[in-house]
Structure 1
Amino acid sequence: MDLTKVEVGILNLRLNAGIDFVQVLPEELNLLIFAYLDDIRTLLACSAVSAPWHDIANSQRLWRRKFRDEPNYNCKPTGDKIIDWKELYKTRFVLERRWMHGIVEPSHLVGHEDSVYCVQFDDIKIVTGSRDQTIRVWSTTDHSQIQVLRKANQHEIGHDGSILCLQYDEKLMVSGSSDSTCILWRLPGFIPFRQLTHHSGAVLDVAIYDRIVATCSKDGFVCVLDRDQEFETKFWLPACRGPVNAIDLKHNVLVSAGNDGLVKIWNTKSGKLIKTLIGHKRSLACVQISDDLKFVVSGGNDDSIRIWDAKRGTCLRVLQEHQSLVRSLQLSGNKLISASYDKSIKIWSMETFRLMLDFSKFHGSWIFAAKTDGKRIVSTSFGINPVILDFSQGLNQECLAYLCD
């Protein structure tokens, strides 16, 4: 609903006559007028003018509109639960302000005995994999160690090498190791039920999307597995003459990044190569495709990040702020998170492709992975203690649960 010229004229007449428009205009118009106030402090100050102004300024309908009208609106389904829209708006406002200005204090996960290569997390748990041949599960809330997954004896299913990669969903976790195997774990209990020996070299990355599992290896292949067919192999994709260092999987599209500096886009239904993205000058270390399949991002040993138009296969932008190998990339909402051997984590805007934040003081060695859920960043490195940057510290946890990244 927008104000017509007649309504604007009537409003001006009442204001010039010294009449409190809030008391004479319909509620819908009052809500519309207050919704035009972009400065949150001004809107809050309106509640102190009078009782009628207080009622409008604190209306749940107003705050719901404010929340939904802002760009990048994202809210998880709430079912029948009643939401405090004002508190939700406030929570998101403070969270975004902390992201914008880098307002965060680090904390650490203490327990690993060697370098930590990989991480994934959610609102409940953080899962890390290490050179110490263990996978550790931590509490997101108090950072305590919940489980240590390791091979107890030679008869058990377990890794005999470094844990190089892992990914999980609600029911399954897949881990890959320098021992050239993958282990399938049944969640939520993290029960190992099968060990795959399909690769002939170290397993460097894994990906899960819906009913498809994909793995890539130092042997130069990507293996696509069918979850509905007892993890039978659907396709072997000859992705690189050298190691395939990273993959990502969304819908029926898989992207791979290899030692040859090429990004390749594959169709997981047909196993066919769709496009090859040429531009990087040296080997690649990381790759990701956006949820809407519009963008591919890649990084590697030429110290650069490339942002590609996935449909056209053209390079949209080259980001060159890192001073060493770009080891990790993640797209999250309108942000891109990158991490490098230069010991820094950088936050980029995917709208302007400009650098927003540069964290270079939290790690003292090469960074292997940096992941985010929109509320926090968890990063791992050559050091033994993963770092948590929690931008949501102290905010309303119920409201945070509704916010998407």
Structure 2
Amino acid sequence: MKTDESDVEYMYDFVDTICKKFGPRYSCSQAEKDANLWIKDELEKFCDETFIDEFETHPGMYPLGIFKILRFLGAISFIFMPLKFPGPILASVCIFLGLFIFIIELFFMKEWIRFLFKKGTSSNVFGIIKPRGETKFRIIFEGHTDSAVQMNIAKFKEKAPIKHVLLGFYFLIHTVILSFVKFFGQLNGSITPQAEWWIFSWTIADWIYFIPFSILFPFFLWAVGGFLGDTVVLGANDNLSASAVSAAIGKYLNEHRPRNIEVWIGSQGSEEVGDKGAKAFVEKYGQIGKLDDAYAIVLDSAGAGTELFIIQKDFMHQATHSIEIIKRVQKAHEIIKKENPDIIEYSVGKTFFGSSDACRYAHAGYKTVSIIVRDGALKKPRNWHSIDDIPENLDKNILRDILEICLTFVELVDLEYD
């Protein structure tokens, strides 16, 4: 084993200190800024260089603002159903506009609607460990400093009731179908009004639409509301644990320097609002060639769970991660397991919902991987976006396992450049 109990305590204390000293740290908040300044002071104790990069973003847009827009447009859509021709088609327009914004912003992160949201300033913090000899390659390890808003859906200890979610989103389909039926029925005369008054026209299509409305509409509000929330969590596991592992990597390598590899360790800002810190980082350091001969290891929720999940493909943001890196992570795990048979087991796979900073590296063409510790049964990080994500719920053995894997990974890559 490369590490000892002092390394484990260092990582735990790193998380515990930030949580107690700065509390919840939403994107662009003073707490996020102050926490990154504290991390910089900490990295200066053992790094050859440290820096903070500030950048501007719109913290209210992603993902909360996107879901609020979808909820608003879906909620007002029914108003147009009982109207005379051509009013009912506006119900579908609301739904299609809401879904278009939802898809183009949540999945493709176009930021076309950012003008609707207040701008703020966030920051990334990094330290650099120089090799003993010439820098032949670079490895970047990162976590993130900001913490998330507790989504209402995260309050479920087990899986959320999928039937309720499906009923809620069926409301959108129900509205589109009936608005088309009534619109074209009015257009060709196949649907005649049963009652008319002012701008309203009641037809058989309205009966079909509004009878199940009393069930479907509340489920729609509940389903979309499940992705909203007001309470900013401490984010001990997601994702100060990864920032702590990154710092511990630097602390260890300061005394056991690689021969050929320069190692960057850091903590990004504004990950929970669309990986904005990683976007700024990739844009800045990609332009000056720092990411060309490099691996970016994005660590997530590195302090609790039963399974190490190495993400090969991020379907949500259409990001494919580096097989080259994955094989070396697997090799590192294999080496450690010979000495420590109790090390956390791993799997390699794809994610369909949820993402990480790794997508920003992958989209720009750089070699990256996202590594996350999750609850193997629930297939999500433990205490994900929950008020229970506190230091006391971290598992020190998991922190140590992830640190050992990362250090062995550095050693393997360093050997390749001898």
TM tier, shorter chain? under 0.3
Structure 1 length-normalised TM? 0.24
Q: Which has the higher helix share?
A: 2
Structure 2 length-normalised TM? 0.24
